[in-house]
Chains A and B, each alone.
Chain A
């Protein structure tokens, strides 16, 4: 029996377990949308308002669920609108399969209407890409796309689908057919479980067992590998203090007695300062990004570093590793665990507590209980954390509020923190929160966004309203591009160049979309407003007016060592 390439695509997506697609139709993808119409009971399509919203929503879906996010858009500008999100997903290791329509194959290179060389344009933003011009290629290509997206270090894959291939007929063959056309070199992307180097494992264990001041750094790799339980067991057995990167937050509960805080530019004082005193650092699923390391010449020079990562290209890339262990975090930790001794590091842990006490006195106390009338971001996040018991999925945008959300929300469940880390894409949070809530309908999802970032993708309020997705949106409005303003204050002599922003009435805007909204500017009204926000199963927006000139501290200035973290 014959079917069209578009029908073959629908079948292949269903065979891969796809349940949701985020998309926006257009001319070059119409045959596929026609095929989608026949399977709309099996594949839920979420119509976004901009293709960038589609890719960010797919990211939120993938990050919350651990599944591959899928989006479907048309050719030309529809496809190029994905580039920011693809780039974001690549650097943050998010598995996506993005399907773009393309003009008929005989028109390729003719500058046809809405033709763009999408493969070329997205080469640097994708883990893999392929252009389908023959409908018979569909099953094998889609199977390969999903495998590449979620194997090894996950990442985004783009499939460009010519219109004639969508409409052309092919034989109805099982999606598991591997016949055809693939170059085998991608076969060597690391599988989830590898044969580990037993000698290196033993050496790593010996280092850890003999360490006097060990520090465990956890990154997103722990969450991607679903290694939270293995991590917890190792932490309990070894007594090692644990710090998290921005994307590693929630791998361990913030209330765990051995959790000492967040690493990096706006992280906590203890883990930043004491990185440069640790004798052994066990780094799991993190890549020593420059936001975490500060000045590399003065980063952990005294420590022996055991670096566990699934991507061999990251081992010894920025920081020299005494021992590199390439593999899935869960597999490596489980192989390491039996080799480790039961220990306590109470004295060393108290060093972190002392540093963090200083941070509390100098920074946190003022943020949580400011003397001024103006609300502070930290206190809003803190109240939100209390009211949601630290169990919500927090999706933050980019800027000061992002750092404060990371610092002040007490994460208690894994996979609870979704943000744009490596790319720092403003506008990420609203569509990503939509995707996260659709992926995890039983969990509270709270989007924490600044007034600047909100205006980059606010059109997705339309998607939220149409689909009645009960995302809770908190806009922390300081009427500025706050992080840029802070840097201008600290490093550019208070020359505030184009950072003050006039915004619309966000509450009225939300109401225009059919979403309930409320504004708060007084401390006395905050708790009740948050209670109202979280109480029901409807989308809601809460705009909170916060101090316009507030700064995020502590801070590791650019070029400084992490141990030179500033409290003010």
Chain B
């Protein structure tokens, strides 16, 4: 349950910058009160750095991964 508006705030980080989410996936909770979210977006490295910083204000960003084939397709 997104009692503390975290999901909405995360979505807004992208929507405010007009970045479309390609995929959004909630993972099962391992710890009560915590959840894991994976987000796939197509963006430039500069945007990725900005998004990392902005998301870091809301949640702990565990991993940022570039998917090479998708990056090539985007380029």
As a 0/1 sequence over residues 180 to 191 of chain A, the CB contacts with chain B under 8 angstroms (1 = contact) are 011111101000
Determine whether the beta carbon of A129 is less than 8 Å from that of B12.
no
Cross-chain contact of B33 among A119, A183, A188, A316 (Cβ < 8 A): A183
Q: Which residue of B lies closest to A119 (CB)?
A: B5
Residues of B within 8 A of A314 (CB): 53
Answer whether A184 and B9 are a contact pair too, CB < 8 Å, given A130-B3, A313-B53, A313-B56: no
As a 0/1 sequence over residues 144 to 183 of chain A, the CB contacts with chain B under 8 angstroms (1 = contact) are 0000000000000000000000000000000000000111
* CB proximity of B18 to chain A, nearest CB, Å: 14
Determine whether the beta carbon of A185 is less than 8 Å from that of B6.
yes
Determine whether the beta carbon of A312 is less than 8 Å from that of B3.
no
Residues of A within 8 A of B50 (CB): 317
Residues of B within 8 A of A490 (CB): none
In the bound assembly, the distance between CA atoms of A314 and B56 in angstroms comes to 11
Residue from A130, A182, A313 having most chain B Cβ neighbours under 10 A: A313
Q: Which residue of B lies closest to A318 (CB)?
A: B50
In the bound assembly, the distance between CA atoms of A466 and B34 in angstroms comes to 49
In the bound assembly, the distance between CA atoms of A314 and B6 in angstroms comes to 20
- Residue B59 at the chain A interface, CB threshold 8 Å: yes
Q: Which of A120-128, A230-238, A347-355 contacts B (4 or more CB under 8 A)?
A: A120-128
In the bound assembly, the distance between CA atoms of A317 and B50 in angstroms comes to 7
Q: Which residue of A lies closest to B55 (CB)?
A: A313
Cross-chain contact of A185 among B12, B34, B49, B53 (Cβ < 8 A): B34
Q: Which residue of A lies closest to B49 (CB)?
A: A316
Residues of A within 8 A of B6 (CB): 183, 185
Cross-chain contact of A186 among B4, B8, B16 (Cβ < 8 A): B4
In the bound assembly, the distance between CA atoms of A259 and B8 in angstroms comes to 44
Residues of A within 8 A of B57 (CB): 311, 313
Question: Chain B binding site: helix, strand, loop or mixed by DSSP?
Answer: loop
Determine whether the beta carbon of B9 is less than 8 Å from that of A123.
yes
Tell me how many residues of A have a C-beta within 8 Å of chain B: 21
* CB proximity of A437 to chain B, nearest CB, Å: 33
Residue from B12, B16, B56, B57 having most chain A Cβ neighbours under 10 A: B57
* CB proximity of B7 to chain A, nearest CB, Å: 11
* CB proximity of B47 to chain A, nearest CB, Å: 12
In the bound assembly, the distance between CA atoms of A315 and B54 in angstroms comes to 11
- Residue B60 at the chain A interface, CB threshold 8 Å: yes
Determine whether the beta carbon of A312 is less than 8 Å from that of B53.
yes
In the bound assembly, the distance between CA atoms of A185 and B22 in angstroms comes to 25
Residue from A120, A124, A183, A184 having most chain B Cβ neighbours under 10 A: A183
* CB proximity of A430 to chain B, nearest CB, Å: 31
Residues of A within 8 A of B34 (CB): 183-185
* CB proximity of B19 to chain A, nearest CB, Å: 15
Q: Which residue of A lies closest to B2 (CB)?
A: A183
In the bound assembly, the distance between CA atoms of A376 and B50 in angstroms comes to 43
Determine whether the beta carbon of B3 is less than 8 Å from that of A317.
no
In the bound assembly, the distance between CA atoms of A311 and B58 in angstroms comes to 12
| 12 A–B pairs (Cβ distance < 8 Å), ordered by A | A123-B8, A123-B9, A123-B12, A128-B5, A130-B4, A130-B5, A183-B3, A183-B4, A312-B53, A312-B56, A313-B54, A316-B49
